[in-house]
A and B are shown apart, each in its own frame.
Chain A
Amino acid sequence: MSAFAAILSKDLRLELRSGVSTIAMVALAMLVLVVLVFALNPGVARGPEAAAGALWIALVFAGMLGASRALMAESENECIRALLISPVDRATLYAAKLAASAIFMLVALGAGAILTVLFFNLEFSGALVRLAPILILGVIGFAALATLLAAISGRARGGELLLPLLVVPMFVPALIAGVRASTAALSAAPMATARDWIGILVAFDVLFVTAGYLLFEHVIGQE
């Protein structure tokens, strides 16, 4: 078994047995949606545009929770030290951690998407299928940034505070593109209107997965 698969399956098994992160992320995504419905009133909080915005807010918050949990779990019993001593290069470690957080985020967002359809008066239809690849792209981009930056913010006292300050501004382009593409997908507009936005999401993912892969060794380990 490759190192990547080993670390990923370890994280997945851990999560299957405790479920703490995913349950917390699903709950947070749900709370975000509920807060938005109350904040905007049900009259405004309906239809594809509001739903797409709400779903991406849920993505940002759930992602932030997931990213800080993922590294906290490793540092609790000094597990991170064992991981760093093991003959795994840092880039592989990054890729595995990125994959694990992306999977947890996707589970949370899957639940979030279903709740959005219910809360924002949409129909269960092919729109959800068209939404899926857009959300996957957004999740990969967010996890790529958050995994890299959580390794930095985790060192600070009150790092949970620092992580959003670093991640959210950097995520802005993906947020703009993702909300627009999701609106198009949910409102059953022809997907050609969303082509540019999806292009930006793909570029964002490629850029930051590569950057994280190359830079992770500089932020993890080595006292």
Chain B
Amino acid sequence: MGRKLNNVLGAVTLALMVVALWMIFAWVPTEAEQGIVQRIFYFHVPCAWVAFAAFAIVAVAGVFYLWLGGQIWDDLGYAAAEIGMLFCTLMLLTGSLWAKPIWGTWWTWDSRLTTSFVLWLLYGGYLLMRAMLEESGQVARFAAVVGIVAALDVPVVIVSVRLWRTIHPAVLVTRQGGHGLQDPRMVVTLLVSITAFTLMFAWLLMLRLAILRTRTRLDEIARAIAIAEFRAGRA
């Protein structure tokens, strides 16, 4: 998985992203009731998908780290948590922009908003914990545990918050079953956008992993140099 593969992935992501943008702004028909603002949906849903996928990866990487060990699992969890946090923030922002004209408010304690916000807080805590414990030498194990516990929390959050209150539109699976996208072009646009975002996620993840791996290598080199200098000084 060298740099070449990563560059190819980056190029494909860029191309597909351009196609997705064209589809979202030029090709797909405007939704009848909500008007132009509904187009943010094609950003909002892929961001949500990437955020949830990233947080799932954090938990899986945590399990594998505790089970098998290996720096790669910790790097994977770290990288996924960072990118997940980014897309979770984007999901909350795009949702908020849409909610102002449609619901008449920037923020409301709707069930999915609340769940997403709790997720945002959970993984914000995870990243802060990593930052504060970076030098302890045990941050990988701590991160694995927090990642697993946070993922266990997610279903309970979803159930309790849904019981609490909801007004969120159910577009993908409506309450009558089936989906709420009237025009087939809307479905295609959403799928292309989700694919583009997923590729972008994969690309960012690979880049971040490469950086983390380089950092580990640099630490090893720095340690080796320090040991060599110490020995030379004593000789």
Query: Which residue numbers of A lie inside 8 Å of B, CB to CB?
Result: 145, 148-149, 152-153, 155-159, 162, 165-166, 168-170, 172-174, 176-177, 180, 196-197, 200, 203-204, 207-208, 211, 215, 218-219, 222-223
B contact residues around A211 at 8 Å (CB): 148-149, 152
Contact yes or no, A170 B150, CB < 8 A: yes
Given A166-B146, A215-B66, 12 additional A-B pairs, CB 8 A: A145-B149, A148-B149, A152-B145, A155-B133, A156-B129, A158-B132, A165-B128, A172-B118, A207-B152, A211-B149, A218-B145, A219-B141
Q: Which of B7-15, B73-81, B160-168, B217-225 contacts A (4 or more CB under 8 A)?
A: B160-168
A218 touches B141 (CB 8 A): yes
How many chain B residues sit at the interface, stated as a range, is 20 to 34
In the complex, number of A-B residue pairs with CB atoms less than 8 Å apart: 90
Q: Which residues of A contact B156 (CB under 8 A)?
A: 173-174, 200, 203-204, 207
Chain A CB within 8 A of B176 CB: no
Q: Across the interface, which residues of A come within 8 angstroms of B132, CB to CB?
A: 156-159, 162
Q: List 28 A-B contacts (CB under 8 A).
A: A145-B149, A148-B145, A152-B129, A152-B133, A155-B133, A159-B132, A162-B125, A162-B128, A162-B129, A165-B128, A166-B126, A169-B121, A169-B122, A170-B153, A172-B118, A173-B159, A173-B160, A176-B160, A176-B161, A200-B156, A200-B163, A207-B152, A211-B152, A215-B145, A215-B148, A218-B144, A219-B145, A222-B138
Looking at chain A's contact residues, the main secondary structure is helix
CA distance A207 to B124 in the complex (A): 22
| Beta-carbon contact of B146 and A177 below 8 Å | no
* A170 to B118 alpha-carbon distance, docked (Å): 8
| Interchain CA distance A166-B129 in the complex, whole Å | 8
**Residue B136 CB within 8 A of the other chain:** yes
Residues A165 and B129 in contact in the complex (CB < 8 Å), given A148-B149, A173-B153, A208-B149: yes
> In the complex, what distance in Å separates the CA atom of A166 from the CA atom of B164?
22
Q: Which of B141-192 contact A (CB under 8 A)?
A: 141-142, 144-146, 148-150, 152-153, 156-157, 159-161, 163-164
Residue ID in chain B nearest A170 by CB atoms: B153
A219: chain B residues at CB < 8 Å are 141-142, 145
